[in-house]
Amino acid sequence: MSPVPMSVLALCAVLGSLFLAFCIVYSMRPSGTSLNLSAWPSPAWLYAQAALTLLTKPKSSKTTQSKGRGFKILQVAVTKPTPCCPRRLAAFLQLAGFNSSQGPLPLSYPIVEAFRLVIQAMLLPDFPFNVLGSVLARNTTTVYRAMTAEQPLIY
């Protein structure tokens, strides 16, 4: 019997690793309608969950509707106030074209920071449709007071 080529062994190792990663992400993904996080979800974790929804989430789900009340309300929150990360704030200000970090935070900064929580809510199994391929049609924001970089963000 001839030895198995290295390319076949490498392919088996890659497929086995992908299957193991799938099993880990599937077993650790959040469930339910409410999720309280002790820290921000990492982008890598969110991407892994999004990829998993391609395989596990039905195209349309009638089970997400509460009887006679429309869709269930989903809530994702960070359990403790989060200080602004100076490095992330500086990168945001430079990328968005703002001059300095002095004065109030730009309105868009807390929104960009909170986007990971929005994605996490959309990845919950009770969200009514698949997050991949979704498009945001409209967003409205109301400012009640100015915020500074020294104030912790509460989500």
Annotated domain spans of the chain: 31-55+72-123
- Average pLDDT rounded to a whole number, residues 63-85: 72
What's the confidence (pLDDT) of residue 82?
84
Q: Could you give the CA distance from residue 127 to residue 86 in angstroms, rounded to a whole number?
A: 33
pLDDT per residue over 60-72, tens digit each? 544 445 455 566 7
Percent of the chain with pLDDT over 70: 81
Indicate whether 35 pLDDT > 60: yes
What are 100-146's pLDDT values in tens digits? 767 888 988 988 888 888 888 888 877 777 777 777 777 788 888 88
Q: Do the strands 70-71 and 34-37 form a parallel or antiparallel pair, or are they unpaired?
A: unpaired
Distance, CA of 74 to CA of 117 (rounded, Å) = 11
Q: Mean pLDDT over all residues of the chain?
A: 78
Residues 6+ apart with CB under 8 A from 31: 124, 125, 126
pLDDT for residue 64 = 46
d(CA 16, CA 14): 5
More confident residue, 81 or 33: 81
Give me the mean pLDDT over the 47-53 stretch: 82
Task: Using pLDDT thresholds of 50, 70 and 90, give the confidence band for residue 93.
Answer: very high
